[in-house]
Amino acid sequence: MDRMLVVVFNNEVQAYQGRQALLQLDSEGNISVYAYAVLAKHADGTATVKQGDDSGPIGTLLGTSFGSLIGLLGGPVGLAIGASVGVLSGAAVDLNNARIGDDFIDDVTKKLTANKFAVVAEIEEDWTTPVDTRMEAIGGTVFRRALSDAKQTIHDENVAAMKADLAQMKAEQAKAHADRKAKLQEKINQLDSKIQGQLQKAKERREAAERQAQAKVQVLKAKAAAAKAKAS
């Protein structure tokens, strides 16, 4: 199952031990790590990515569920991302892109307080014991959440509702007097603009998801090739 993983630690040393443990679990075949970062929360409420996986095919954070999660954990004050990792735009940081519930963000941020660190990752795991056992031994508190497609359903319903309103306005305009026609046309134009904006955002999300899915396939292919070479 594809999941977002956040493991909170009390200090930086533990966080880097957690990162190493995560990569070790990947090399052992217990999980697949698609992207990861070590996040530091500062006393002023800002967060900084201390280290990120910027070498792989999905190392860039922009437009991905993982990148949006990183941005959300940065909190309202802001997030500083290292130049080698990339900078998140405000548009990228929302629950729709992160594909997780706000309750998950609340649970994590209650634990990820000032001067604490976290290992944030997008992983594929069949069972939770390997990660939990390793992280708890280091002193980490594990939070995980399966990625959801429910937001797309909500988006589709919103667009359908706006289209229904648009059709009703156009039907009303056809029967309206001249003075009313102009006012209705203004509302029609505004609503149509909103619909087009929503459709464009949906297109961008689909394209980002497709790129991320392709990158994940490449990660898995590379691992399979490495395992085959090691076995031969």
User: What is the domain-level CATH number for residue 108?
Assistant: 3.30.70
Give 20-48 pLDDT, tens digit per residue. Answer: 999 999 989 899 888 888 999 988 877 88
Q: How far is CA 109 from CA 99, 114, 184, 202, in A?
A: 17, 10, 46, 28
**Is the domain of 101 the same as that of 200?**
no
Q: Determine the 3-state secondary structure of 108 from DSSP.
A: helix
pLDDT, mean of residues 136-158: 77
Integer Cα distance of 204 and 161 in angstroms: 21
Q: Are residues 217 and 118 in the same domain?
A: no
Please check whether residues 94 and 190 belong to one and the same domain: no
Name the residue range of residue 44's domain: 2-148
**Which tokens is 147 given?**
């990625």
Judge if 120 and 158 occupy the same domain: no
Mean pLDDT across the chain: 78
Instruction: Round to whole Å and give the CA distance between 7 and 78.
Output: 20
User: Does one domain contain both 45 and 119?
Assistant: yes
6 pLDDT tier (thresholds 50, 70, 90): very high
Residue 119 or residue 91, greater confidence: 119
pLDDT band at 97 (very low <50, low <70, confident <90, very high): low
Q: Please give the Cα distance from 22 to 20 (Å, whole number).
A: 5
**31 and 138 within one domain:** yes
Q: How does pLDDT run across 178-226, given as a tens digit for each residue?
A: 878 888 888 889 888 888 888 887 787 777 767 777 777 777 788 778 7
